[in-house]
A and B are shown apart, each in its own frame.
Chain A
Amino acid sequence: DTGVSQDPRHKITKRGQNVTFRCDPISEHNRLYWYRQTLGQGPEFLTYFQNEAQLEKSRLLSDRFSAERPKGSFSTLEIQRTEQGDSAMYLCASSLVGIAGVSDTQYFGPGTRLTVL
């Protein structure tokens, strides 16, 4: 399977614990996005990378959240001191953007469902 993969698919944690999620994009894609989605809502943008550079962060991304893409391939999203409000589906997407930077089709992974007790 050469699509976007995410690990783990489900995570249950206690409030105050740290969690880390991993995303492996489609191999030739240079952009990688993180979104958060709660029930009945569309995905909310969190941050994105072009290669290893983090180009944009949403105001939703508090200082408890950090994302990395150290070698421009896979990415990790860490949430420190989790809160119950962090319970959501965390989606990763990837795309290929050329020099002209035209709108890119994003392909989503299956998501990581986080439950904070």
Chain B
Amino acid sequence: GQNIDQPTEMTATEGAIVQINCTYQTSGFNGLFWYQQHAGEAPTFLSYNVLDGLEEKGRFSSFLSRSKGYSYLLLKELQMKDSASYLCAPYENYGGSQGNLIFGKGTKLSVKP
């Protein structure tokens, strides 16, 4: 079965740090993606974790614990333009080269001045 849980909404202040958590249960897990989606636009790729640990990319970092079925996205030095939905998406592998992304409902982040 597939179950992805992330907070529905979060609010943070410009310049602050925010952590968006995601827990998941999938079969055939083969990595986890985070996407950013501004209202009315398509999702854009932020990060990919396949091994345990922290991946840092500028102001954004993503962490994965495979044994705990847990990931988080860390956003530093928040800017107003970071107001968007953040989608947690484990990759489910069916076997061989077949598989696809399973998206959570997303966390809507509002950055206030």
Contact = CB atoms under 8 A, between A and B. Distances in A.
Do A and B come together as binding partners? yes
Interface of A: 33, 35, 40-45, 48, 50, 55-56, 91, 97, 99-103, 105-111
B1 to A, nearest CB: 14
Nearest to A99: B97
Given A40-B105, A44-B103, A103-B50, A56 B98 contact: yes
Chain A interface main SS type: loop
Given A103-B48, A105-B45, A110-B42, A45 B102 contact: yes
Interface string B34-69: 010000011111001010000000000000000000
B97 A43 contact: no
B45 A42 contact: no
A48 B31 CA distance: 19
B11 interface: no
B33 interface: yes
B100 A56 contact: yes
Given A55-B98, A101-B96, A103-B31, A42 B42 contact: no
B45 A48 contact: no
A97 B97 contact: yes
B21 interface: no
Contact of B42 (A33, A48, A91, A100): A91
Interface in B54-113: 87, 89, 91, 93-94, 96-106
Nearest to B97: A101
A106 B102 CA distance: 12
A105 B98 contact: no
B23 interface: no
A33 B106 contact: no
Closest 8 A/B residue pairs (Cβ) = A101-B97, A42-B103, A108-B42, A103-B31, A103-B91, A43-B103, A103-B30, A108-B43
